[in-house]
């Protein structure tokens, strides 16, 4: 995965899922699970947020909850990541960007080549990740990558002077030599990253994400308890 995708999207092993509410208001209704994040008809419920948080916690020490500041930082990073992904999916839908079932299946086969035998399936089972949920997340990742390719990467202009300056900087940093094609790929990715931050801010302004602070408070250590006292 390239650097930009690492910034924007969680690894393929981590999944998220959305509930599409259809017509009408997306306000909480009696008997329905409360939301944590929502933007128009894309909603992340409390249980979905919990599963995402549990998967993120797997990368930290088992006693991470004993460190409130660090743990709360993880929670807020999940909020940021999922909010950004919601905006990207909204933008892709606006642009009419989709991927076919055939494209998803082909990409999945390429992805699974890095996991011989049934290692990947065991990883899903170990972390209680349902395959159909993971497959949907994988499809969303492909949609987002296609969006970024069309809206950012393809519009990047690289001239000879850019390549020379990038090469000189790369050489001064003592990095391993690259071919001209490899340099151009990395330079394009760097320019895409630089352009991305302004681009995503415009998209966020168009598709603001609402945070249910009362529900989110329950995920944060120390806040909910102090409020009740």
**Token pair 């599409």 in the structure block, residue:** 20
Q: What pTM value is reported for the model?
A: 0.74
71 and 56 Cβ atoms separated by less than 8 Å: no
Concatenated DSSP letters of the chain: --HHHHHHS--TTS----EE--SS--S--TTSPPEEEEETTEEEEHHHHHHHHHHHHTTS-TTGGG-HHHHHHHHHHHHHHHHHHHHHHHHHHHTT----HHHHHHHHHHHHTTS-TTHHHHHHHHTT--HHHHHHHHHHHHHHHHHHHHHTGGG----HHHHHHHHHHHHHTTPPP--HHHHHHHHHHHHHHHHHHHHHHHHHHHS--EE-HHHHHTTSTTHHHHHH-
pLDDT at 117 over 50: yes
Does residue 163 form part of some domain? no
Total structural domains in the chain? Answer: 1
Q: How many CB atoms sit inside 10 A of residue 191's CB?
A: 18
Q: How many CB atoms sit inside 10 A of residue 43's CB?
A: 23
Does residue 59 form part of some domain? yes
pLDDT at 104 over 80: yes
Write down the pLDDT at residue 163: 87
Q: What is the pLDDT of residues 181-203, one digit of tens each?
A: 888 888 888 899 889 988 999 99
Q: What is the pLDDT of residues 9-27, one digit of tens each?
A: 333 333 333 333 332 234 4
Does residue 174 form part of some domain? no
Write down the pLDDT at residue 223: 65
Give percent of the chain with pLDDT exceeding 70: 83
CATH number at residue 64: 1.10.4030.10
Provide the residue range defining the domain that includes 98.
3-156+196-228
Strands 210-211 and 35-39, how do they pair? antiparallel
Does residue 173 form part of some domain? no
Beta pairing partners, 43: 19, 38
Does residue 171 form part of some domain? no
Q: What is the pLDDT of residues 23-49, one digit of tens each?
A: 223 444 445 789 999 999 999 999 889
The C-alpha atoms of residue 133 and residue 120 are separated, in whole angstroms, by 14
């Amino acid at each position: 995965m390239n650097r930009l995708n690492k910034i924007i999207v969680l690894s393929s092993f981590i999944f998220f899922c959305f509930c599409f509410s259809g017509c009408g208001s997306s306000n909480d209704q009696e008997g329905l699970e409360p939301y944590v994040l929502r933007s128009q008809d894309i909603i992340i419920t409390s249980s979905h947020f919990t599963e995402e948080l549990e998967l993120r916690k797997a990368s930290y020490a088992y006693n991470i909850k004993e460190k409130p500041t660090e743990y709360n930082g993880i929670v807020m990073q999940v909020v940021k990541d999922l909010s950004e992904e919601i905006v990207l999916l909204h933008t892709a839908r606006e642009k009419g960007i989709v991927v076919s079932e055939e494209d998803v299946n082909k990409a999945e086969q390429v992805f699974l080549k890095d996991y011989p035998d049934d290692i990947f399936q065991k990883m899903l089972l170990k972390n209680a990740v349902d395959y159909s949920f993971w497959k949907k997340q994988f499809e969303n990742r492909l949609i987002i990558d296609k969006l970024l390719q069309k809206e950012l990467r393809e519009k990047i202009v690289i001239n000879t002077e850019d390549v020379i300056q990038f090469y000189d900087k790369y050489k001064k940093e003592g990095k391993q030599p690259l071919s001209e094609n490899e340099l151009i790929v990395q330079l394009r990715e760097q320019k895409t990253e630089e352009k991305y931050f302004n681009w995503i801010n415009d998209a966020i302004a168009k598709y603001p994400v609402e945070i249910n602070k009362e529900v989110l408070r329950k995920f944060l250590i120390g806040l909910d308890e102090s409020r009740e006292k």
